[in-house]
Amino acid sequence: MSGPVRDISEGLRGPGDETAAGTVTAGAMVRAEAVVREYPSGDAVVRALRGIDLTIGRGELLAIRGRSGSGKTTLLSILGGLDRPTSGRVLVDDLEVSALTEDELVDVRRRTVAFVYQAFGLVPFLSASENVEVPLRLVGTDPASRDARVAELLEMVGLEARARHRPYELSGGEQQRVAIARALANRPRLLLADEPTGQLDSDTGHRIMMLIRAIVRADGVTAVVATHDPAMLDVADRVVELRDGLLV
């Protein structure tokens, strides 16, 4: 994983903004209330989530652990408005996202919620800087502000020297750092990461988690990370476990 990750965790918090662990605690950023998600499967019904009650504080880094098929991805998708619960409701920043129209959800996903995926999801024919630029173009950011924000983000993740490289010219860790920079482009308040270290070796994966940790502490972003890797859990403020669609 070439290039240092700049330390962004110091000097950006005021007094009274954190606990001893560095977590901002000014109320709830996410509230899931009795969330059920069911899918038809032939003549049967698959209950992916079986009544989830979960509150996530502002500025908290929450890790959701569980085996494949436990419901982690389904829960992240519902928290971020990519999917809707069969019953129950989800509030993000006091907005009931589970009741929004599709157009309203698009706006939430562009401005409030950001996603990081295991497979990186970069556009292969765009450079690192162009990939980071995409969300800024979607909301109509002016060119000068766009260029400054891209440069700031690539410096933050230690990739300013790789700005013109395309994904195939980057390592897995570098691609994931570009994906994180892209997710942060529009200054989201909620970052959802689905197995962000799943394709990386353990050392690189731990550095990615430490980068997410630094972003949470520096900017007060709330982050929810789904993982089944025990080595990734030590940097979280809190860990919950999903098993067969239930929090245990």
**Which of 13-22, 34-43, 193-202, 219-228 is predicted least confidently?**
13-22
Amino acid in the structure at residue 28 = A
Q: Whole-angstrom Cα distance, residue 121 to residue 113?
A: 16
**Which single residue is written with the structure tokens 């997410």?**
212
Quick one: three-class SS letters along 145-194? HHHHHHHHHHHHCCCHHHCCCCHHHCCHHHHHHHHHHHHCCCCCCEEEEE
Q: How confident is the model at residue 12 (pLDDT cuts 50, 70, 90)?
A: very low
Q: Whole-angstrom Cα distance, residue 1 to residue 172?
A: 8
pLDDT (0 to 100) of residue 148 = 96
What single DSSP character describes residue 105? H
Q: Whole-angstrom Cα distance, residue 205 to residue 21?
A: 21
Q: Which domains does the chain have, with CATH numbers?
A: 28-247 (3.40.50.300)
Coil, strand, or helix at residue 209? helix
**Can you say whether the dihedral through the CA atoms of 226, 30, 186, 80 is positive or negative?**
positive
Coil, strand, or helix at residue 242? strand
pLDDT surpassing 80 at residue 11: no
pTM score, whole prediction: 0.85
pLDDT (0 to 100) of residue 202 = 82
Rounded average pLDDT over 60-85:
93
Nearest C-alpha neighbor of 170 from the set 145, 200, 194, 192: 200
pLDDT surpassing 90 at residue 226: yes
Summarised one tens digit per residue, pLDDT across range 106-153 is 999 888 999 998 888 899 999 999 999 999 999 999 999 999 999 999
203: CB partners within 8 A, 6+ apart:
1
pLDDT above 70 covers what percent of the chain? Answer: 89
Pairing of strands 28-41, 95-96: unpaired
Q: Whole-angstrom Cα distance, residue 235 to residue 220?
A: 16
pLDDT (0 to 100) of residue 231 = 65
pLDDT (0 to 100) of residue 117 = 87
Bridge-partner residues for 37, per DSSP?
Answer: 49
Confirm if 29 and 222 have CB atoms less than 8 A apart: yes
Amino acid in the structure at residue 43 = D
Nearest C-alpha neighbor of 92 from the set 77, 73, 108, 116: 108
What single DSSP character describes residue 195? S
